[in-house]
Every structure is written in C-alpha cells, then in structure tokens.
Structure 1
Amino acid sequence: MHEMSLMESMIDIACKTARQHGATRVRSIRLDVGVLSHADPDALLFCYEAVRHGTIAQDATLEINRVPGEGWCLDCERTVALAERFGACPDCGRHRVQMTAGDELKIRDMEVI
C-alpha cells in the first residue's frame, strides 16, 4: 500500500512547512488527488488516521479534492477529458494526447495556527 508512504510524506511536508512559518498546529489540509494518479482516496484517508498522531497535525481535518483527467489532443488541438492514462482522444480516437491534469497528488492548501 503506497498510500501509507504518501501520507507519511504529506504529513511531514505539512508539519515542516507549518513550523517554518511559525505555526504550532495544523488545523486543516486540503489535497488535490488526480483520478489518474493511482492513489485511492479511501486508502489515503485510512492512512492519514494512522500517521497524523503525535504530530502538530494530529487534530487536523483532511479534505481530498478529486481532479479529473484531462489532456491536450495534438490532432484536435483542444483540451479533452481523459478516463485513463495514455487513453485515446474521445473525439477523434487518436492516441496523440498529452495528459495535462489528473495525475497530481499535492497539498492545495492548509490552515495553521
């Protein structure tokens, strides 16, 4: 389960960033998780419960925002929805699509005190 190491890293980043800005507690964290990122939001929430204890984020709430898959079709010259990595353009059927969204896993923002 790679979600455990992902959440450990996320908590570490959030706590370090909060301390660098003089905060003593993290109140909330919002994550952007792409639907094509291979990270399961339910597993991330489960792992979050396990790794936040004993940190300055132990009482923080976690919100996960799902980011839809999106790509730029080189043939249609427009942005299209992607349902899978390396998928075909839903309009022209060609596979010349560069993914532009949907594979991210990042901290969007957090509230600290």
Structure 2
Amino acid sequence: MINVVETVENFAKQNGITEIDTLVLQIGELSSVVPRFVQACYPAAVDGTMLQNTKLEIEILPGNCICDNCKKVFNLIEHKGECPSCGSEDWELLCGREFLIKEIVAC
C-alpha cells in the first residue's frame, strides 16, 4: 500500500492536484492481494500523506477464464476450474489477477 500511496502522490504532484477525495482500487479475486487487508492497512499507509483524509473504494474483479474447448467464458472460482458448458478443465485466464489504481478523484 505504501507504493500505491507514493504513486498516487507523485501523480497528483505532476498534475497539480492538491487534494484527493477518493482513491479507487481494482483487485482481482485471484490476486495475491487481500482486499480486507488493504482496507485494514490503508489508514496507516496514508497517515501523514496528502491522502490522509481520502476515502478508499475497492472494486473486486472476477476471475474469469475462457474454455479452450467450447470458448465459453466462466468464473474460475465459481465453477472450480471446470467449464460449466462442456466440463473441460482446459482454459485460459482472462482476468482476475489485477491490482490497479482505477481512479483518483480530486476534490
């Protein structure tokens, strides 16, 4: 989170932003980043920075994949790695491992 705060502060300074209202992060459900831990450590990470009074919003991105056999897109976790359409376990991950700064909302 400290790297995220530094990145946001650098972006704000480069773009003449002096106050930020909300920081929106996107976290994939297959990511190694745990949203509740991000939420819990956010106050300590922003303490004493220009983000100190900001709100944090977290959007969870689904872990979707596409079946190599029938080309159906499905949620990997929900279907336990098996295509609900044809039963194949051969798939390609499309999304779900992201950890992104989606939006910086200035005041």
- TM-score (structure 2 length as normaliser): 0.89
Whether 2:67 is the aligned partner of 1:83: answer: no
Match of 2:21 in 1: 27
Deviations along 1:32-63, one digit per CA (max 9) or x if unpaired, are 11111122111101111111011111111000
- Which stretches in structure 2 are left out of the alignment for 5+ residues? none
2:22–2:55: 8 Å Cα contact kept in structure 1? yes
Match of 1:4 in 2: none
What is the aligned-residue RMSD (CA, Å)? 1.7
Runs of 4+ displaced beyond 6 Å: none
- TM-score (structure 1 length as normaliser): 0.84
Matches within 5 A, 1:1-113: 7-83=1-77, 87-113=81-107
Mapped to 2, the partners of 1:101 and 1:62 lie a distance apart of 22
- Which stretches in structure 1 are left out of the alignment for 5+ residues? 1-6
Equivalent residues, number: 106
Moved more, 54-63 or 86-95: 86-95
2:67–2:83: 8 Å Cα contact kept in structure 1? yes
The amino acid of 1:13's aligned partner reads T
Moved more, 28-37 or 92-101: 92-101
Moved more, 88-97 or 50-59: 88-97
